[in-house]
Amino acid sequence: MSTHHLAQRQAELEEKLFAKYGPFVGGSALRLLLGYSTGAAFRQAVMHKRVPVTTFLQEGRQPRFASTKDVAAWIARTEARAEVAQGHPEG
């Protein structure tokens, strides 16, 4: 995936995620977008600092949140790496 296509895909994802979640995504939606099948798996990743985006707690709120923009960027990069690994660099 070229840099141009990566930027386009990231912008597309960001627009869709922002429309659905707003500027921040959290809770089970964040966990699922990042590919964690269970809350326990996500909590372990947080505890061991292996979550692929920066997460934070909002005052008085329990679930972790991340910037929708960061999540969109991570998804786009992950898709690009998968395309290269499968031998489709221009996807």
Note the pLDDT tens digit of each residue in 51-66: 999 999 988 878 999 9
**Are the C-beta atoms of residues 84 and 41 closer than 8 Å to each other?**
no
Q: Write down the pTM of the prediction.
A: 0.88
- 61 residue type, one letter: R
The per-residue pLDDT for range 14-67, each reduced to its tens digit, is 999 999 999 999 999 999 999 999 999 999 999 999 999 999 998 887 899 999
Task: Tokens 């964040």: give the residue.
Answer: 30
What is the Cα–Cα distance from 40 to 73, expressed in whole angstroms?
24
**Are the C-beta atoms of residues 68 and 17 closer than 8 Å to each other?**
yes
Pairing label, strands 24-26, 55-57: unpaired
**Are the C-beta atoms of residues 30 and 65 closer than 8 Å to each other?**
yes
